[in-house]
């Protein structure tokens, strides 16, 4: 079950991608809460060569370290913006395998909000 703080993170990630969405370039937004309670957001950066793209979760973690000095992740979430003409709305998505490893490396006790059949869950 999501807490109000979890819903606040989903709202922050949604706002980040709504503001910075660019089809085929920025389609995923992430938000994380540091262990000291600050919320930091990021959007993915895509590239023509797929393997050099950087996920939104990694951008948010990097911003948190750079801007706050906090390496801890209390909770993190990513959301995806649909492409033009694609049905649906901005929705929570699971982190990719690389992001799962990165999140674990920076905070093995991090809470990760993921989609489920009954809506987002931790």
Q: How far apart are CA 78 and CA 85, in angstroms?
A: 21
Positions marked catalytic: 57
What is the value of pTM for the model shown?
0.94
Which of helix, strand or coil describes residue 37? coil
Q: How far apart are CA 23 and CA 42, in angstroms?
A: 16
Q: How far apart are CA 86 and CA 79, in angstroms?
A: 15
47-79 pLDDT, tens per residue?
Answer: 988 789 999 999 999 999 999 997 799 999 999
Q: Which domains does the chain have, with CATH numbers?
A: 4-113 (3.40.140.10)
Q: How far apart are CA 40 and CA 4, in angstroms?
A: 17
Cα 11 to the chain's mean position, in Å? 11
2-15 pLDDT, tens per residue?
Answer: 999 999 999 999 99
Q: How far apart are CA 102 and CA 12, in angstroms?
A: 21
């Amino acid at each position: 079950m999501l807490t109000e703080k979890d819903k606040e993170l989903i709202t922050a990630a949604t706002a980040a991608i709504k503001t910075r969405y660019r089809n085929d370039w920025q389609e995923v937004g992430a938000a994380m809460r540091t262990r000291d309670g600050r919320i930091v957001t990021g959007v993915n950066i895509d590239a023509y060569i797929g393997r050099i793209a950087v996920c939104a979760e990694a951008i948010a973690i990097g911003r948190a370290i750079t801007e706050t000095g906090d390496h801890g992740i209390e909770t993190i979430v990513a959301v995806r913006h649909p492409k033009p003409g694609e049905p649906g709305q901005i929705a929570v998505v699971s982190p990719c395998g690389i992001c799962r490893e990165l999140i674990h490396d920076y905070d093995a006790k991090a809470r990760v909000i993921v989609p489920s059949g009954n809506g987002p869950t931790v």
